[in-house]
Each structure stands twice: as C-alpha cells, then as structure tokens.
Amino acid sequence: MKRIVLTALTSLMCVYAVAQVNIIPKPVFLKAQPQQKGFSINTQTKIVIGNDSLRNAAVFFNDYLEKYLQFKLTITSVKPTENYISLGVNTGISKFADAYELGVFAQNISLTGNSNPGVFYGIQTLIQLLPTTKAATLNIPAVAVTDYPRFAYRGMHLDVSRHFFDVAFVKKYIDYLAMRKMNYFHWHLTDDHGWRIEIKKYPKLTEIGAWRNGSIIGLWPGKGNENIKYQVLPNDVKITPANAEIKTDGIRHGGYYTQEEIKDVIKYAADRYITIIPEIEMPAHSMAALAAYPEFGTEPNKPYKVAETWGMMNKYNNVFQPNDKTFSFLEDVLTEVMNLFPSKYIHIGGDEASKVWWKQSAETQKIMKEKGIKDEVALQSYFIHRIEKFVNSKGKTIIGWDEILDGGLAPNAVVMSWRGEKGGIAAAKVKQKVVMSPEEKLYLNHKQFMKEDSLAANKFLPLETVYNYEPVPAELNAEQAKYIWGAQGNLWSEYIANPAKVEYMLFPRMDALSEIQWSQKEQKNYADFLKRLKTQFKRYDLMGITYSQRYLSPVAN
C-alpha cells in the first residue's frame, strides 16, 4: 500500500515537473528529466559569465528576476563550486547559427551558445523554466535543451504613425520580441498620420508632420473627425451624408522621437540582439511629410494636412512628386536615417501608391516624357530603383512592400510580401530575399475573435490561423525556398491607441508567430501549443500583460 502511495506521489511529482516545461517557441530538442532534482535559485546563486560580452544576457535575466520575482543575483566571472548559472560561448557546439545548449542540474545550470545571440536565446528559455509566482527559492526543473532557429529573419513590426507610442513602451515591445527569440524590429516611423523621427535638416517634418487634429472614431473611414470631403474618383467607396457632415473633436494627437532617443532605443535593442529596421514610406503614405513640405508633392500649392481620417490611396493625394528636388530631399532624409541606424536594411515602403495623382499632374507627366517612362507603373519602379541605387551607394540594402515588384523589381531589394504570397514567390524565383508577412495570416491588428470588445481591423485572424501559417510556399523548389529569409507579424495601429491594446492584439498570437519563425516545421502541433500556452498565460499575469480572458474559457471565439 505504502509503495502504491509512494509511486502515485512520485508520478504526480513527475507530472508537476513536466508541466513546468512549456517553452514557446518550442525548442528543437528538449528532454525533461523529472526523476532528477532540478536547480533552486536562492539569494546566494551567482551568474557566471565566461566573458564580458555576455553581461547583457546576464543583466536581462537578472532584470527579469528583479522585476517579476524580486530576486537580484550577483554577476561574476569567478565560478564557485556550486549554486551558479554559467553562461559561455563555444563555437563548436552546433553547425546551426545561434544555437544553444542548456542543462539544468541540481548543482548548477549550464548555458552554452555557439554565439552571443545563442546564449541570449538560451536565457529566454531559462526564463520560461522559472516559476510564474513569487517564492523564497525559485525551483527550476531538470532539463536538457539543444536549440536553434529555423529562420534567420524573425520579425515583428509596429506602426507608430497612426498612433504614437513613447520610448518606454517601445522598449517594452522590444523586450516582448526578445522573449520570443525574435531578432528584427520593423519600426514603421512615417505615414500619412504622423512623421515620428527627428530629421535635423528638415525640422518641419516633426514640428508640423508629427501632429494631427482630431481623434478618429469608428472603423474606416471613421467618424468624429473633420468634415470629410473626398475627391470622388473611380472605384471610390461612396461617402455617405453621415460621413460628410462630421466635425472634428479637435484633440491633438502625435509625438516623435528625437535622434538621441532613437540612438538609445537602437542600443537597447542591440543589447537584445534585435536589429531595428526603420521604415520611411515613399512614394506614397507621405501626407505628414507633405503637410510639412508641400513643395515635394504633386500639388505644391495645395494645403496638405496630416491625415485626419484613415487612409485610402485614391481618397487623398499622398504621393511625392518624382522630381530631382524631391529625390534630394529623400536622400537627405535617408542619409540621416542611415547614419542613425546601424541596420544593413532600410525599409522604404513602396506600398499603395495610387497612380491617379501622377496621372493628373502635368509636371509628373512631363518628367515621364523626358525620361521615357511609359506609364505610372513604370514610374513607381523608376522611383524605387533610383532610391535603391542611392541606398546601395551607402552600403545598405532596401526592403520594400511587394508593390516594389510592380514595373520590375529593384535588383538588390528584399521583398516583404503582404498582399498574400504572390510577391514573395515571384521574388524567390528570381533569387531575391523574401520576408513573408501576408495580411490574411500575419496582420495581428485584425480581429482575433468574431466579436471583439473594442474596435479592430475588420478581418478575422484567429490564433489557430496564425499558428498554422507556413512561410515557405509549396510551389517553391528547395533552391528557391532558400530565399524565404523568414516571417514577420505586422501591427498597424489605426485602432490601437494605447499600450494595453497593443498587448491585447499581440498576445498570444505573437507566441504563435514565434513558433512559425523559430521552431522546426515538423515539431508544430496546435494542441500541444495550446497546452504550453496555459503556462504562458500565468506568465502574462505575473508580468502584468493584457490579454483576452476569453482564451481561458473552453470556447474561445
């Protein structure tokens, strides 16, 4: 009888220990060893770093412990005989980039990466082995992990133009990416609704371009704002009398980042092995820039305004005039941007440029004639090629939305495929790098439930759809598939006006995204992911992250 009770107890303990090992994204190899004693962090535990370049990984771990579990450990280079967590680099442990090995034993924890990022990713796994509630000692189950990423590009985007998010929150957002082992943050810094980056040579970009009047209430085109009088063009959605009569609420929205703040954020991200890719939109989505400098638009005498309603490309004229004066301006802007951001990649937008504004501009037509450009599609291509040449001359590479394929792809560009996968497939077939970010699968601003508590972009993107997305299209052969650099989730902020809403839209769909980006394809299993997610919800609670409680009920829809 005693033996039966003991056996039952032991197996319960095993289940308990195993239940703690719920890592997202799922590691390549993980062996829980419930029969072995794990490690206990107490106030005397030391973090031992093999060299000083690992200090940032140790600090990240320590910061987490301090912030959420009220522990602060000593970081040292001197290894004690026991009760330590060692971080080291050994390039020989794996042939895969940024791999790590993590072993949790009774006496110590050993974390070895084949690169510094590898060690940092191991720290993220270690954090997920910690308890999700405060305790006097932090018990970590015995495990052996060997892990490395599937894709080299693991990105997440944030639109800070439609609504502005301050530096403190952007850093928090970067921490969220880090915790999911992502390595690129795509910072959407300019759009029709606000210019968010200080440019010294053109101060009006932020004096004027960073501010708009009026809240936008309701789904596109929005109510509660200016007296909307669109120019009616073919294919326009008809304006209703209700839309046309609405007045602004007069609330001023906006903000921007100084170059000093941007340097600070870049360093913060670099400490987390995250590269920030800045996006400067062109040739369209440029209303905020044109409000500041109308001389670069196709109607220089028009009183452009920072957009006060959600945009549609045929509704208002937000394109640059493709003349030499404009290119000089854009080159000046890009020069400041490239001097600030160490990223090899600069995103130049390229999406949704309506051709109607170029069609009806006499100056544009004259430029096209002079240069032998046959139509406005070819003009878009000319625009992007010209900017690419300039960016390449500074040793950098452009990324653009898949419209940069229209009229002929710029030869060195990376394509971000958002209108489905077609653009990405076409680019991979001509051996150009691709980031898959299809709207139907990875736009996390879309509704996650059929009925949302608050406004969200009016398409339905449930957790399972995100989870099951496969970034390498079946029609690519093995050679072409190598050009799928990775995948990215996008978060457009038209209906996201505060940090809590950002979190609500991100979690847990960003967890699902991380599994697309990091985990091996054959390891993915939605039911298993949901099981692991239960522990994540507890961690969100510990971290004060906002997410939908609906996921906790049996029928989340």
Catalytic residues, by residue number, are 191, 285, 352
Q: Under rule CB under 6 A, which residues in 452-511 are in contact with ligand ACM?
A: none
Task: Closer to ligand ACM by CB, 14 or 312: give it.
Answer: 312
- Beta-bridged to residue 349, according to DSSP, are 282
State which residue, 184 or 401, has the beta carbon closest to ligand ACM: 401
Distant-in-sequence, close-in-space partners of 467: CB < 8 Å, separation ≥ 6: 512, 515, 516, 524, 526, 529
Give the tokens for residue 235: 């294919």
Is 199:205 a contact under the CB 8 Å cutoff?
yes
Residue 36 or 465: the one with the smaller Cβ distance to ligand ACM is 465
As measured in angstroms, the least distance from the Cβ of 398 to ligand ACM is 15
Site string for ligand ACM, 418-437 (x = CB under 6 A): x-------------------
> Count of residues binding ligand ACM (CB under 6 A)?
4
What sign does the dihedral 282-288-294-300 (CA atoms) show? positive
In angstroms, the CA 62 to CA 71 distance is 8
Site mask, ligand ACM, residues 382-421, x = CB under 6 A? -------------------x----------------x---
Shortest Å, Cβ 294 to ligand ACM: 24
Instruction: Please name the residues in contact with 135: beta carbons below 8 A apart, sequence gap of 6 or more.
Output: 69
351 lines the binding site for ligand ACM (CB under 6 A):
yes
Furthest-apart CA atoms within the chain: distance in Å: 96
Q: What is the CA radius of gyration of the chain?
A: 25
Rounded Cα gap, residues 389 and 411, in angstroms: 9
Beta-carbon contacts of 245 under 8 Å, excluding residues fewer than 6 positions away, are 227
- Cα 70 to chain centroid distance, Å, stands at 29
Q: Smallest distance, Å, CB 280 to ligand ACM? A: 14
Strands, E, within 382-533: which ranges? 397-401, 414-417, 434-436, 446-447, 457-460, 484-489
- We find the least distance from the C-beta atom of residue 82 to ligand ACM, in angstroms, to be 53
39 φ/ψ angles, rounded to the nearest 5 degrees:
-105, 145
Tokens standing for residue 544: 């004060």
3-state secondary structure 197-252: ECCCCCCHHHHCCCEEECCCECCCCCECCCCCCCCCCCCCCCCCHHHHCCCCCCCE
Q: Is 255 or 420 the residue whose CB approaches ligand ACM more closely?
A: 420
Q: Which two tokens stand for residue 481?
A: 């598939």
Give the closest residue to 135 by CA, choosing from 227, 42, 252, 11. 42
Quote the CA–CA distance of 191 and 507 in Å, as a whole number.
Answer: 25
In terms of CB distance, is 140 or 284 closer to ligand ACM? Answer: 284
Toward ligand ACM, which CB reaches closer, 376 or 403?
403
* Cβ distance to ligand ACM smaller for residue 299 or 351: 351
DSSP 73: P
Report the first-to-last Cα separation within the chain, whole angstroms: 47
**Least gap, CB of 418 to ligand ACM (angstroms):** 4
For ligand ACM, give the closer residue by CB, 401 or 540: 401
Of the CA atoms within 13 Å of residue 272, those in its CB half-sphere come to 27
Q: How far is the CB of 235 from ligand ACM (least distance, A)?
A: 17
| Close Cβ partners of 243 (under 8 Å, ≥ 6 residues apart) | 221, 223, 228
CB of 437 to ligand ACM, least distance (A): 8
- Cβ proximity to ligand ACM, 336 vs 352, nearer residue: 352
Strand 484-489 and strand 434-436: the pairing is parallel
Residue 103: its H or E element: strand 100-104
Q: Closest CB to ligand ACM among 153 and 401?
A: 401
CA–CA distance, 286 with 250 (Å, rounded to integer): 22
CB-closest chain residue to ligand ACM = 351
CB of 401 to ligand ACM, least distance (A): 4
In the complex, minimum distance from the CB of residue 419 to ligand ACM, in angstroms, rounded to a whole number: 8
Compute the least distance from the CB of residue 422 to ligand ACM, in Å: 14
Binding site for ligand ACM (CB under 6 A): 351-352, 401, 418
